[in-house]
Amino acid sequence: MGKSAAKRIEAGLCQALQKAVGKIAKLYQMAKAAVESPKGIIEEVIFPAAPEKWLMTLIQEVEQGSTYKGKVRKSLQRSYRFHYRRMVPKLLNILEFKCTNVKHQPVMQALEIIKDNFNNKGAAYPEGVMVPLKGVVSSDWMPLVVEDDDGGAYKVNRIAYEICALKALRERLRCREIWVVESRRYRDPEEDLP
């Protein structure tokens, strides 16, 4: 899911760069001027290549748009919400995950919370549902998962949280900290011991 979201954003960026040929040319001129005289004064070196007013416009344009990673995450959320999410309850009901390591129990708890609350309506989990964040949500996803409420409390965005839980599950499956019952590839690591 993440790779296809990144490809969509990269295709959009390529189209935007093709439309903004003037920006690339000016940025090239600025970079060349800065490299040719690194100790020069900005007004004498950079502003002839790109006027200050043009630079301010560029800064505002970049600040208004989101970052590349932010766009990829938003694209991933959209594709998950409208396509991939339909498969999750069936997979979670068919597959049985096990873990004996206490460190990875938050991921197991997250899977149970996802299963229990999958049919609930709303963008956030209902009040009273204690959602484990540590060990499930990475720091770069935290602003998308945790939304501040007016009363000082916070809400947990369900779609973003489910994506983080599935990513955490994938990583734990790869290192076999969590395993799947009756699986060959992702079986209990204790079964591999001689």
Tens of pLDDT, residues 94-106? 999 999 888 999 9
How confident is residue 14, by pLDDT bands cut at 50, 70 and 90?
A: low
Q: Which of 94, 112, 106, 101 is nearest to 189 (CA)?
A: 101
Region 181-194: mean pLDDT is 84
Q: Which residue has the higher pLDDT, 140 or 71?
A: 140
What mean pLDDT value characterizes the chain?
Answer: 81
Segments of 84-178 assigned E as strands: 97-98, 146-148, 154-156
Query: How much is the pLDDT for 19?
Result: 45
Tokens of 166: 């599935």
Distance in angstroms (rounded) separating the CA atoms of residues 179 and 194: 18
Per-residue pLDDT, 167: 92
pLDDT at 89 over 80: yes
Range among 59-63, 68-72, 144-148, 151-155 rated most confident: 144-148
35-39, 59-63, 150-154: which has the minimum mean pLDDT?
A: 59-63
List strand residue ranges (DSSP E) for the chain, in order: 97-98, 146-148, 154-156, 179-180
Local structure of 130: helix, strand or coil: coil
State yes or no: pLDDT of 108 exceeds 90.
yes
Residue pair 130/96 in contact (Cβ under 8 Å)? The answer is no
